[in-house]
Structures are given as C-alpha cells and as structure tokens.
Amino acid sequence: VRPDKKLGQNFLTDSTIADEIVLHTSSDKQDFVLEIGPGPGMLTQSILALDRAKKIVAVEMDPRCVTALSSLVATSEGRLTVIQGDALRIDEEKILQEYGKGASKIKVIANLPYNVGTELLIKWLKRSHLFSSITIMLQKEVVERICATPDTKKYGRLAVMSQLLCEVNEVIEVAPEYFFPPPKVTSAVVNLIPRAMPLYPCDLNKVERLTAELFNHRRKMIHKLLKPLISEECLNKTLINLTKRPEQLTLEEICLLSELIK
Ligand code: SAM
C-alpha cells in the first residue's frame, strides 16, 4: 500500500516496536479490542500473535488497507473483523454490543492517524465509561499535552479533560525511523485508564465551558476571565487566588470554579 499523506499514513516498519506497544497495554486474551487505522496490519498482527484479544474490530478508512488485511482476517479464526469506515463517525457502543462477545468494555490499541488523533481522543473521553483502557500512539507533542501538569506551557484543555477522566501515563517514545514514510516529528505512546468517576466532583459541560474561556487567554489573570461566567459575589467568597493565570490552576481548582458557573 503506497502511503497516502492525507490519511495520515505513516506505517510502522518494525514488529518489535509493535510488540512493545502491545505489551504496554493491559490487554489479555479475554479482551475486546478496538483498533483504529490498522493500515497494512503491523500492530494488528502483534495483538493477534501475542494473544492479547478474544476479538479485535479494526476500523480503517482506506479500502486498499482493508483489502491488504483480508489474509490476516482469513487466518485469524474469527478473532479479527475489519470494518471500512471513518473512526470519527462510528458508534463504539454498537460495535461493543455487536462484536464484544459478552465483554463489558472496550480496550483501544492504535497508532492513530495524527490529523484526527486529538479529535478521536476527545470523542472517547466524552464516552469514557465504554473503555477500560486506551493505548494510543500520537505525536510526542500531543502526548506531552495530555500528560502536562500545572505551571507548564503544555498544560491546557487536553490535560484537564484527559486527567480528570483518566489516569494517564506516557509509556514509550518512537523515533521517526521506525515508520514509512518517517514522520517529521517524534511519536509517543500514551496509556489512558478511564476512572470510574471524574477525579473531582464536577459537571463536565461546565468544565469545558470554563477551560475554553480560560485557556484561550493563558497569560491573563483569572479574575478578569471569570467575570462573564461567575457572579462577583461567588468570586469574592472563593479561597482560590484570583491573581493566578489559567495555567497555574490545579485540576481541583478548575473543578471548584466550574461549580460556581451560573
Ligand atoms: N496501524 C498502522 C501502523 O501502525 O502501521 C497504520 C497507522 S497510520 C499512522 C494511520 C491509519 O489510519 C492509516 O492506515 C489510515 O488509512 C487510517 N485512517 C486515517 N483516517 C482514518 C479515519 N478517520 N478512520 C479510520 N482510519 C483512518
């Protein structure tokens, strides 16, 4: 399959890296795995060979890759189903019901197309109750934004949503030479384990509204930014230091402030 840039096709060329990614997941042979963008199947083969799934559904946009995967499907003894489609549009809950063989949750394992990686992650975070783990390869820069802590440049909306809803861990870095064609940037694998409940009590819609307002103006003091969202009376009562900048707020402070939104 000749790689198509528009589809974010940078294929893994080294099976030891694919094995390493799979070994960093908590998956075992009882699990239902959703793989996004299997391409010609390097990662898929590792999941099968290492016996890390009872069933894999792989969703791939490119019909050429779907054809290339047919022999792997044929030898998988029913463990692999490939669906041609757009991962942004699939209904994960329906896929779990249809193919899950009784599994109650999904484990995602994927080397994501980088052009839609963040959008896909946000989609999954919004329905995080469906997943027991999400192990994905993305640009290292995006993985750093997912794992960022307060008081750093990379800390923002993606860190807040990811860490409120999941435990996050960067597991390995993968250099460009392990792909064809080599991407311009280094990649990294992150493991997200959804929490049973958000880390602090909150209404996620309010957290999203608040973080959108705050992190669009990272250098301003939060007092100014909060005025349109929270009454002066509530702001006066809060113990949070209102001269802080958005990137200095902890997850707990963000949740507390979001609860004050009218
Ligand atoms: N898993 C393979 C590997 O590691 O070698 C390929 C990874 S490549 C970075 C991303 C794959 O996602 C490509 O095969 C591409 O065709 C596919 N893809 C791109 N956009 C997609 C979408 N919206 N839905 C499903 N697959 C998509």
CA 210 to ligand 1 center in whole angstroms: 33
Distance 239 CA to ligand 1 centre (A): 47
Express each pLDDT in 189-235 by its tens digit: 999 999 999 999 999 999 999 999 999 999 899 999 999 999 999 99
| pTM for the predicted model, two decimal places | 0.96
State which ligand 1 atom lies nearest to the alpha carbon of 65.
Answer: 14
Q: Which atom of ligand 1 is nearest to the CA of 114?
A: 9
Q: How far is the CA of 111 from the centre of ligand 1 (A)?
A: 7
C-beta separation of 119 from 81 below 8 A: no
Query: Which atom of ligand 1 has the smallest separation from the CA of 10?
Result: 9
pLDDT digits (tens, 9 = 90+) for 40-51: 999 999 999 999
**Residue 184: how many other CB atoms lie within 10 Å:** 8
Strand ranges, E, within the chain:
11-12, 32-36, 55-60, 80-84, 106-111, 131-139, 166-174, 179-180, 187-194
